[in-house]
């Protein structure tokens, strides 16, 4: 009997790695077939795509992404109820696919005209996946846009920014709402710039580039040769060139106010170097020079994170790093490019080498965004 048991143990030791290798082969085959299925889905061949995905499920039953893709194919075919049935079967699986399941399932209920059910599902998902940026995105869309409560939507998107700082879509919506629907443009400018660092070369990037350009341009007003106004916050600052020395006197202000005050004094410095006309609109080149003056003043006056003051800001730290590398002008022009492409093209003719050098560097050196290196308004 002892010898029989030893033989069984020996056989199990031999078969275990064989079984493991067979499982790995099945998983690899499933991934390959799934690639074909996704291509078919993109081409509108939904039935054939699902047939292949079902085969993937049999080859690798522990990987729920294939069922998720099946649900997505039904949604793309406008068969949302079938998609909902597939997703409901996945809700008990607490793996990396789970947040996507809740996200798509909630969206389907919203599309089907039941936003309250969508909200319920998103909240259930967030209780299980509290760091899922996509769930904050969708919940914010329903609360803010479908139910027309922008303030509530903003609070949700900003929570998503706080807990999932590398997820771009929450920055996208927060930037749009702050810039277009509130007086607190400053937050929209920062969120929009971080968004463009996280998501490059998409239609949304183009949209936010124009939004940032227009927000800067439309909220800097030249009222006379010696008076101008920066209106990035409800705390408006109207300055006179002769009075700028008293603006930054060491008082502790809220971040949005100190940002606007610093930009105002930078505008005063800019105006002494240029002949500004009444009601003149500043182009991307002028805005870039203003942003550079702002950056110099911000760090010269020790408002950065290392000073022990209450204004740490990773976006400004990133800008200052770019400035130290000699890339800030090119970076700022890239940021504002879609506001006026003719202005950019004229600038590029004179600065093509520096811009191309920046782009080559930027491609390999994205802005580092993480739990340790992040910005959200509630940090102040």
Q: Which of 200, 140, 194, 152 is nearest to 171 (CA)?
A: 194
What would the DSSP string read from start to end of 160-175?
A: HHHH-TT-SHHHHHHH
Q: Are 186 and 230 in contact (CB under 8 A)?
A: no
Residue that has been written with the tokens 């002949």 in this structure: 275
**Structural domains present in the chain:** 24-201 (1.25.40.10), 214-379 (no CATH)
* Residue 340, token pair as written in the block: 């006026």
Rounded Cα gap, residues 45 and 324, in angstroms: 52
220 three-class SS: strand
pTM value > 0.85: no
* Residue 71, token pair as written in the block: 């649900």
Q: Check whether 264 has a pLDDT greater than 60.
A: yes
Residues 39-64 pLDDT 10s = 888 889 998 888 888 888 888 887 87
Q: Which of 145, 147, 123, 117 is nearest to 136 (CA)?
A: 123
Residue that has been written with the tokens 């069922």 in this structure: 67
Residues 129-167 pLDDT 10s = 999 999 999 999 999 999 999 999 999 999 999 999 999
What would the DSSP string read from start to end of 179-209?
A: HHHSS-HHHHHHHHHHHHHHS-SSHHHHHHH
* Residue 327, token pair as written in the block: 């890339």
**Mean pLDDT value of segment 325-331:** 98
Q: Identify the weakest region by mean pLDDT among 45-49, 238-242, 286-290.
A: 238-242
């Amino acid at each position: 009997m002892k010898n029989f048991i030893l033989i069984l143990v020996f056989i199990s030791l031999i078969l275990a790695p064989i079984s493991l290798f067979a499982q790995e082969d099945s998983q690899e085959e499933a991934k390959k077939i799934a690639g074909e299925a996704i291509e078919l889905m993109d081409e509108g061949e939904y039935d054939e795509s699902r047939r292949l995905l079902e085969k993937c499920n049999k080859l690798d039953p522990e990987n729920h992404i294939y069922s998720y893709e099946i649900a997505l194919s039904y949604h793309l075919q406008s068969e949302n109820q079938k998609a909902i049935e597939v997703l409901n079967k996945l809700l008990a699986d607490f793996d990396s696919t789970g947040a996507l399941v809740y996200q798509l399932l909630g969206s389907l209920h919203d599309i089907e005209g039941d936003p309250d059910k969508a909200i319920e599902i998103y909240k259930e998902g967030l209780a299980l996946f509290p760091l899922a940026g996509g769930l904050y995105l969708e919940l914010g869309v329903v609360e803010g846009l479908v139910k027309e409560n922008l303030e509530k939507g903003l609070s949700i998107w900003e929570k998503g920014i706080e807990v999932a700082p590398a997820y771009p879509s929450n920055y996208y919506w927060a930037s749009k709402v702050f810039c277009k629907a509130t007086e607190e443009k400053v937050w929209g400018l920062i969120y929009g710039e971080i968004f463009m660092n996280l998501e490059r070369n998409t239609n949304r990037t183009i949209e936010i580039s124009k939004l940032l350009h227009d927000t800067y341009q439309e909220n800097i007003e030249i009222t006379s040769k010696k008076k101008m106004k920066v209106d990035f916050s409800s705390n408006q600052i109207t300055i006179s060139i002769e009075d700028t020395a008293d603006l930054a006197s060491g008082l502790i202000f809220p971040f949005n106010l100190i940002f606007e005050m610093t930009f105002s004094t930078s505008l005063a410095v800019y105006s002494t170097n240029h002949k500004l006309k009444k009601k003149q609109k500043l182009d991307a080149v002028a805005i870039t020079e203003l942003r550079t003056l702002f950056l110099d003043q911000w760090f010269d006056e020790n408002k950065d994170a290392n000073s022990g003051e209450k204004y740490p800001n990773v976006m400004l730290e990133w800008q200052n790093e770019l400035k130290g590398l000699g890339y800030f002008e090119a970076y700022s022009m890239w940021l504002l490019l879609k506001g006026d492409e003719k202005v950019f093209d004229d600038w590029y003719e004179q600065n093509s080498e520096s811009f191309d050098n920046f782009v080559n560097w930027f491609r390999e050196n994205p802005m580092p965004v993480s739990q340790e290196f992040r910005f959200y308004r509630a940090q102040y």
